[in-house]
A and B are shown apart, each in its own frame.
Chain A
């Protein structure tokens, strides 16, 4: 949905997913490089959920940002 010649709501959602995804991906990669002590690890730490979930969110968010970019909407 757009508001006249305006930014689509999906662009804002893409932006949110992209930024959050990159932050979570960064935190996940940091954890892989510098694992916390075992007693401080989350359950299933070995699956590195932060890395792949953050990456997935960033990918989806990036696609939304590109697809609903204001510049594309005004073309």
Chain B
């Protein structure tokens, strides 16, 4: 066995050794074995689509977090940390923790008590069929397209990092996912997400440990970054008083109100891809504890994502550049920083584990997309709109077939993107259109008794259309950025923040106005769906340390302290 490993700018970023390949092959064998093992435990609709609703708080919580911890997420945010400095941490702290705690304490009881199978399912119960249809069709369509986009992006990463053939990466990963989700349903997806969580930590944690050792500690790393970039790269809030005093071109209002109050709330509380994991919890306390456990781990994810990016900025001898420049010059882009740092410290075996963690992240993300698509298609589109009289067995079979078809559509999308790369930008933009308005609709539905069916539907539709309009406006006339994002200096991420904020406000305004102009829903029909009309079951006489609210307060305090430390 040769021990050579080379970081080269030729055909691939790193070179694997036989032991690395054994680790990767073992991972594929293990996930397939789990799929076959779970086949016998996915016979009913509850088993296949909801994992039997028997997940503990820890399994549901880790799965909830892992669904968002994909390979592109890891590499992309490590690259953002290199590009924007510690500001990228906002997407892990204020961009996640308040939303997760809000979901746990305020929204989860309604999702859980209503016994819905999905977020569109809740909209059906609260606002009626039109809102469900709008939400389900848009979610199913976009989820399966996003899965394809991610598939292509990951195959591209494997080509750049390892020199693997695109077709090989696409087909091997998609067939593996199709097999294990078809066999075991949501339970299989959840098992693999928890496995991926451990692999990511096992594969990536050495980078910050060895990196900080090499840099001489956090204090020295800050000095190195200040010398190479500027002091603003190591402050989270100090430079946000103006659009021009931070690397991202964003104001604190965009971070607090756009990211913290709207985008993260929309994603973590209404994106069915992540919420589905919580609906599989075995009881109410587990469903509430799961996002709090997820929040606890989310706060330390920057250790393996943001810190490697900062270490790259402080330690790598070469300067990384934007993707377009890297393609033209043959250099390395920001997004290569995580594989570069892995290659810097990880010898044979460790490198294989790091690459396996990336592959696992990608595959579990795809499995999450496919299992969510399958549930929404079967329960929110096929059953109410096409065949409402099928047996449970029929719907399980539909779920298995939909899994295969969903994977095939994803593969088709991946090849479409391969033919025209601009499709990727459009699909990613389209997905973001629905998140903020959907949060407005769901949260008003849960907290305001007066919201009516027409109000919910028109609010959701107008919010989504306003988001699309703003995006198109800036696309056609880039100077419109000064109105949409309040500054001509705003970068793409800043535009997203404000676009989400305005579309949320449009959704809420339209929902309120239309609701007040239409007939109220009788209170008797709102039981179990709305605050004030729902008897939320008590957790019971349990010690303080077993109460979700106690751990939510602990998480909130840690969150505040971390922001102060890295201010």
A residues lining the B interface (CB < 8 Å): 1, 3-4, 6-7, 9, 12-13, 15-17, 19-20, 23-28, 30-31, 34, 36, 40-45, 47, 49-50, 53-54, 57
Contact = CB atoms under 8 A, between A and B. Distances in A.
A50 B191 contact: no
Interface in B1-53: 1, 3-6, 17, 19, 22-23, 26-27, 30, 34, 37-38, 41, 52
B445 interface: no
Contacts of A42: 5, 343-347
A50 B349 contact: yes
Contacts of A28: 347, 349
B26 A19 contact: yes
Interface of B: 1, 3-6, 17, 19, 22-23, 26-27, 30, 34, 37-38, 41, 52, 54-56, 58-59, 187, 191, 194-195, 198-199, 202, 206, 210, 213-214, 343-350, 352-353, 356
The 6 closest A-B pairs by CB, nearest first: A27-B349, A24-B349, A36-B3, A27-B348, A1-B59, A1-B56
A27 B343 CA distance: 15
B198 A50 contact: no
B342 to A, nearest CB: 10
A49 B199 contact: no
Nearest to A42: B347
A27 B19 contact: yes
10 contacts: A1-B59, A3-B187, A4-B41, A9-B194, A12-B195, A16-B26, A30-B3, A50-B347, A50-B349, A57-B202
A44 B45 CA distance: 52
Contacts of B195: 9, 12-13, 16
B345 A12 contact: no
A23 B23 contact: yes
Contacts of A41: 347
A41 B3 CA distance: 9
B349 A44 contact: no
Contacts of A9: 59, 191, 194-195
Q: Please report whether the interface of chain A is mostly helix, strand, loop or mixed according to DSSP.
A: helix
Contacts of B54: 1, 3
Given A3-B38, A40-B4, A20 B202 contact: yes
Contacts, number: 110
Nearest to A40: B4
B4 A36 contact: yes
A49 B41 contact: no
A44 B213 contact: yes
Given A40-B4, A44-B213, A1 B347 contact: no
Contacts of A26: 19, 349
Given A36-B3, A43-B210, 4 more contacts: A1-B58, A6-B37, A24-B349, A50-B348
A69 B343 CA distance: 35
Given A1-B59, A57-B202, A27 B347 contact: yes
Q: Which of B23, B58, B348: most chain A CB closer than 10 A?
A: B348
A61 to B, nearest CB: 9
Contacts of B3: 30-31, 34, 36, 40
A61 B206 CA distance: 17
A24 B17 CA distance: 12
Given A12-B195, A13-B198, A24-B353, A3 B41 contact: yes
Given A13-B198, A31-B3, A47-B210, A24 B37 contact: no
Nearest to B52: A3
A15 B6 contact: no
Contact of A44 (B30, B58, B214, B356): B214
